[in-house]
Amino acid sequence: MRGAVVRPDATVEAVHVVPVLPSSPAPGLVEFDPVAMADAALSVARRALAEAGPVAAVGIANQRASTVVWDRATGEPVGPGLGWQDLRTVGDCLVWQSQGLRFAPNESATKAAHLLEAADPDRTRDLCVGTVDTWIAWHLSDGELHVTDLSNAGVTGLTLGDGADWDDGKLEALRIPRSSLPRIVDSTGVVGQATALDGAPPIAALVGDQQASLVGQGCVRPGLAKITFGTGGMLDVCVGSERPAFARQGGHGTFPIVAWRQGGVPTWGVEAVMLAAGTNVEWLRDDLRIIGSAEESHDVAAQCESTDGVVFVPALLGLGTPRWDYGARGTLLGVTRGTGRPQLVRAVLEGVAHRGADLVEAAEADTGLTLDHLRVDGGMTGNPTFLQALADATQRPVEVSPEREATTLGAGFLAGLAVGTWGGWDELAATWRPRTVVEPGRALDRDRWREAVERAAGWEPDLSAISF
């Protein structure tokens, strides 16, 4: 959990972090403690205010689709929070799919139904359902607000096609009472007061983390895109006022999203997903132990100018966009007796860069837009070798965010926009000042890469056959 203050000149101050780590009590299960999360949110917010002084507004950016259910009267959670990666409802999703309803296990829908069924099988209790933004807003307002914004509601799997309201047919099928769901509000706009904080500043923004990163990097006009390279990777591109033509997934594996909503009017985007990005560097460090830290991956890879033909497909968790294949597996090709530690580490970094290029190509194909350059944030953007590989794989300039966690800027921008700190979207866009720009050099061999992906695909046929 991270709290910070964003100043009118787009600088970030008074950053405070309290780790709230998920647990995995069994394979495929990802849980978190909602009370610990709420306590951490209040702690970092109060410490940031104590250090930096009063603020004009509060913005909340959150990991999307992670789900909490709690008692409306007491505020007590009825069970653990279920993280977005939690897979306990995969079987439920497949059953619903056979009945003509499509839910994905990484959406909130079946997570909420699971928690409700465990705590209230007769649906007689007055319970609240929410994603993390809803849960934090509830605590910041001392239980007065039960709200979510459209960027979060849109990835629950429970809304109508335009995302503006809940889908009664889906609610009935999953036995989720409409009364348990939050009110859907704008992403930018005052919704209440943060009475749990000194001065009770207005809560003026709620937004999903990837959309916050999009705004934080100034991608507020059609054709502007960012990629966040954390444990996974997410490319988001601003499309504009028209909803993408595809309902669930484009022909090249991207998804329509609401980037934000202001004054009741949504701005749309598309999202492309890489299931494993920084996870691959963690694998080198924690499992293979051939590097001592994530930062060392740059130093080791820089010891060679190329991989000498070694290609790594980073499918440790399967492949996402453009080829959704949960049965694909990490694949290392081209290894010889002369392959050393530097070539292996460089191949891993270049493999993630190739996946970034896959996302770019898919987004362009599904939207018809041309992405002339990329803006990037996330932990891997501290690695110069990776950044150069990304520029080389995409053959586009790569602009690196001045804030590694651009979600902070996005939440602050949307809150400030609501209370007049910034006069409009053009003013927000003008705040973009990349930390560095990496120009493309030698082109990486994309044809060889595609051949490697073909060899990685379908390794676990039963998993490869699953589609959500």
Three-state SS sequence of 245-303: CCCCCCCCCCEEEEEEEECCEEEEEEEEEECCCHHHHHHHHHHCCCCCCCCHHHHHHCC
Q: Give the pLDDT confidence score for residue 292 in this predicted structure.
A: 97
φ, ψ for residue 13 (rounded to 5)? -130, 170
Give Cα separations from 276 to 217, 230, 347, 382 (angstroms). Answer: 22, 8, 15, 17
Which two structure tokens, joined as six digits, stand for 23? 């647990």
Alpha-carbon distance 457 to 466, whole Å?
Answer: 13
Q: Give the pLDDT confidence score for residue 79 in this predicted structure.
A: 97
Which two structure tokens, joined as six digits, stand for 467? 């589609």
Give Cα separations from 32 to 35, 165, 232, 279, 381 (angstroms). Answer: 9, 28, 19, 20, 27
Q: Give the pLDDT confidence score for residue 161 in this predicted structure.
A: 81
Give Cα separations from 437 to 298, 381, 398 (angstroms). Answer: 18, 11, 6
Q: Is the pLDDT of residue 164 over 90?
A: no
Q: Is the pLDDT of residue 467 over 90?
A: no
Q: Give the pLDDT confidence score for residue 260 in this predicted structure.
A: 97
Buried b (16+ CB within 10 A) or exposed e, 215-242: bbbbbbebbbbbbbbbbbbbbbbbbeee
Question: Which tens digits make up the pLDDT trace of 302-331?
Answer: 999 999 999 999 999 999 999 999 999 999
Alpha-carbon distance 121 to 118, whole Å?
Answer: 6
Dihedral of the CA atoms 351, 354, 358, 360 (nearest 10)? 130
Mean pLDDT of 66-73: 98
Quick one: pLDDT band at residue 160, thresholds 50, 70, 90?
very high
Q: 74 with 80: CB under 8 angstroms?
A: no
Q: List, in order of start, the domains of the chain with CATH numbers.
A: 2-207 (3.30.420.40), 218-400+435-468 (3.30.420.40)
Dihedral of the CA atoms 109, 114, 115, 119 (nearest 10)? 140
Q: Is the pLDDT of residue 468 over 90?
A: no
Start-to-end CA span in the chain (Å): 30
This model's pTM is above 0.85:
yes
Buried b (16+ CB within 10 A) or exposed e, 313-338: bbbebbbbbbbbbbbbbbbbeebeee
φ, ψ for residue 25 (rounded to 5)? -70, -15
Task: Name the strand (E) or helix (H) holding 132.
Answer: helix 132-140
φ, ψ for residue 61 (rounded to 5)? -120, 140
Mean pLDDT of 113-122: 98
Buried b (16+ CB within 10 A) or exposed e, 361-396: bbbbebbebebebbbbbbbbbebebbbbbbbbbbeb
Alpha-carbon distance 177 to 174, whole Å?
Answer: 9
Q: 202 with 226: CB under 8 angstroms?
A: no
Q: Give the pLDDT confidence score for residue 65 in this predicted structure.
A: 95
Which two structure tokens, joined as six digits, stand for 300? 């080791």
Quick one: pLDDT band at residue 301, thresholds 50, 70, 90?
very high
Q: Give the pLDDT confidence score for residue 162 in this predicted structure.
A: 79
Mean pLDDT of 386-396: 98
Q: What angle do CA 87, 457, 386 make, to 5 degrees?
A: 85
Q: Is the pLDDT of residue 163 over 90?
A: no
Number of residues in the chain: 468
Q: Is the pLDDT of residue 436 over 90?
A: yes
Q: Is the pLDDT of residue 379 over 90?
A: yes
Smallest Cα–Cα separation from 131: which of 175, 84, 191? 84
Q: Give the pLDDT confidence score for residue 67 in this predicted structure.
A: 98
Q: Is the pLDDT of residue 125 over 90?
A: yes
Alpha-carbon distance 67 to 159, whole Å?
Answer: 15
Question: Which tens digits make up the pLDDT trace of 276-288?
Answer: 999 999 999 999 9
Mean pLDDT of 59-66: 96
**In the chain, helix, strand, coil percent, each to 5?**
35, 20, 45
Quick one: pLDDT band at residue 247, thresholds 50, 70, 90?
confident
φ, ψ for residue 271 (rounded to 5)? -130, 135
Q: 234 with 228: CB under 8 angstroms?
A: yes
Q: 418 with 189: CB under 8 angstroms?
A: yes
Question: Which tens digits make up the pLDDT trace of 179-229?
Answer: 999 999 999 999 999 999 999 999 999 999 999 999 999 999 999 999 999
The mean of the pLDDT values for the chain is 96
Q: Give the pLDDT confidence score for residue 83 in this predicted structure.
A: 95
Q: Give the pLDDT confidence score for residue 297 in this predicted structure.
A: 98
Tell me how far apart the 2 most distant CA atoms of the chain are, in Å: 67
